[in-house]
Amino acid sequence: MKAKGVNRRRGATAVESAIVLPLVFLLARGLSVGGMGVFRHIQTACLAREGARWASVRGSGYQRDANQSSPTAQQIAEQGVHPYAAGIDPTSLAVQVEWVDRATNTASDWDTSGKDVSSVTTSGEMVTNAVRVTVTCQWLPGPLGNVTAFRSVCERPMSN
């Protein structure tokens, strides 16, 4: 029996849910993927910092003190970057290591440089050289997204 003055709308809830629920799921998915993207961006910056820190203490002073040769760029990637890449496929990471001569403001490949801690400018001033690590991470946000590349560069002075 129908109550007096109450107009029942059969199926209204189903129609409203059919409109609202996909929007709620899309919003939740967007927030989730966006959060993962921000995390991946921050993680890429952290990897560049860690790689530069690890390499900055392994120049010519390291060769002299530890009686070992300086690591190669591949070793810097494997020992100074990849251990911190939690949840990242190592094949999606590209690590570039450069030695920066601050006397001439030039950068050269880490493996072919002298890796001297300091050098002298043309005016005779002593400057501390640096190491520059660039990490690029390829990220696929999901089946509907395009591959996004996050790139971070960190430059640190060489340590004695």
Q: Per residue in 133-152, pLDDT tens?
A: 999 999 988 776 788 899 99
Find the angle CA(72)-CA(128)-CA(131) to the nearest 5 degrees: 30
Per-residue pLDDT band at 118 (split at 50, 70, 90): confident
Residue 7 domain-assigned (yes or no): no
Residue 135: how many other CB atoms lie within 10 Å: 27
Residue 124 has pLDDT above 60, yes or no: yes
pLDDT tens per residue across span 39-80: 999 999 999 999 999 999 887 777 778 888 888 999 999 999
pLDDT single digits (tens) 82-92: 999 988 888 99
Say if 101 falls within a structural domain: yes
Q: Are 16 and 9 in contact (CB under 8 A)?
A: no
Structural domain total, the chain: 1
Tell whether 50 is covered by a domain: yes
Domain membership of residue 28 as a residue range: 12-157
Domain presence at residue 4: no
Is residue 124, in this structure, part of any structural domain at all?
yes
Q: Taking the complete model, does pTM exceed 0.75, yes or no?
A: yes
d(CA 58, CA 117): 10
Instruction: Please provide the average confidence, as pLDDT, over all residues in the chain.
Output: 87
Q: Cα 52 to chain center, whole Å?
A: 12
